[in-house]
Structure 1
Amino acid sequence: MIQNVLHKTFSVALALLVFFSTVSFTVEKHFCGDVLVDVSVFSELQKCAMEAFEIEMAEKTQVHCCKDTVDLVKGQDHLTIKKFEDLDFDQQLFLSTFAYSYINLFEGLPQQVIPHKYYSPPNLVADIQVRDQVFLI
């Protein structure tokens, strides 16, 4: 029972590890001056109230007080898949021996023949031990 639960937990953990190692996402940040106004991972940034005012001022003075930064967290692009032929001879020998022994580990026992399975004993007419006065001591 506990082995089954551990096996499933380990399988889910490995699947999540592969999933999170290949996911890419961006983190967007909006600063007004030196103050962080909004951080967004999956949605649009909310601009500050100064944004409309800044656009008008930027046309006149060419100085921006608000800025947006984008941080890219890049996951793994490709996973390497090895084929059996790419392995050394020793590794191939180990894997084939391990697979053979593992498969044979769960092979069922052959059907055992029980010769007296359907045998019904004869009807008891008299208790022979009492009649012959033979007892085990």
Structure 2
Amino acid sequence: MKPMIQKILAMVMAFFMLVSTVSWTIEKHYCFGSLVDIAFFHEADTCGMDMGLVDAIFDKRGNSCCDHEVITIPGQDDLKISYHDIDLGQQLFLVAYAAYYISQFQPKAQPLVPHADYPPPILVKDITILDQVFLI
């Protein structure tokens, strides 16, 4: 069960790392106020009226029939860890983690058995054979 949880946790962490480092771009194209296309990572398809006669007429007045909206979410570029900026809390965590990790490889103490040095009693007669009691 523990290796399965570790694998799932590793995959989730890898997914979050991928999502946080990739830049996301969402483009939307509106024509006459209605949404025509939404595109992720590439340009949105237009309605085909971008440079036509109608568009040229609307441009003289200062507005257009088509509108293009771009939303960009930048990814994380700085992934290097500077070990010179570790504060006291992080140092305490690293020391505790290292001590716990090293203690995993120490041999376990055997439990004390008080009667281990004493021999078992000497059997004069085998009582199970005398009483004819056998395990089947």
Q: Give the TM-score, by structure 2 length.
A: 0.62
Mind listing any 5+ residue stretches in structure 2 that lack a counterpart? 109-123, 128-136
Partner of 1:4: 3
Contact 2:27/2:38, CA 8 A, preserved across alignment: yes
Distance (whole Å) between structure 1 residues aligned to residue 43 and residue 24 of structure 2: 13
Aligned 8 A contact 2:27 2:42 in 1: no
For residues 86-105 of structure 1, what are the alpha-carbon distances to aligned partners after superposition, in whole Å with 9 as ceiling and x for unaligned? 343x7546533532441341
Instruction: Supply the AA of the counterpart residue of 2:38.
Output: V
User: In structure 1, what is the equivalent of residue 49 of structure 2?
Assistant: 50
TM-fit CA distance, 1:33: 1.5
Cα RMSD of the aligned pairs, angstroms, is 3.1
Q: How does 1:22-61 map to 2 (within 5 A)?
A: 22-51=21-50, 52-58=52-58, 61=61
For structure 1, which runs of at least 5 residues remain unmatched after alignment?
A: 110-133
Look up the match of 2:17. 18
Tell me which amino acid in the other structure corresponds to 2:64: H
Q: d(CA) in 2 for partners of 1:58 and 1:50? A: 11
Letter of the structure 2 residue corresponding to residue 78 of structure 1: D
The 1:5/1:84 distance shift into structure 2, 3 A limit, reads farther
1:13 Cα deviation after fit: 0.8
Q: CA deviation at 1:69?
A: 1.0
Deviation, structure 1 residue 54: 3.3
Q: In structure 2, do the counterparts of structure 1 residues 98 and 39 end up closer, same or farther at CA, with 3 Å as the change threshold?
A: closer
Paired residues of 1:32 and 1:67 also in contact (CA < 8 A)? yes
Report how far residue 35 of structure 1 moved: 0.6
**Residue 66 of structure 1: how far off its partner (Å):** 0.8
Decide whether the 8 Å contact of 1:31 with 1:66 is kept in 2.
Answer: yes
Task: Give, in whole Å, the separation in 2 of the partners of 1:28 and 1:73.
Answer: 11
Q: 1:136 maps to which residue?
A: 126
**TM-score under structure 1 length normalisation:** 0.62
Distance change >3 Å, CA 4–CA 50, structure 1 → 2: same
Q: Which has the higher helix share?
A: 1
CA distance in 2, matches of 1:94, 1:62: 61
CA–CA separation in structure 1 for the residues paired with 2:19 and 2:28: 22
Partner of 1:99: 98
Give the distance between the partners of 2:85 and 2:64, measured in 1 at CA: 60
Amino-acid identity (%): 34
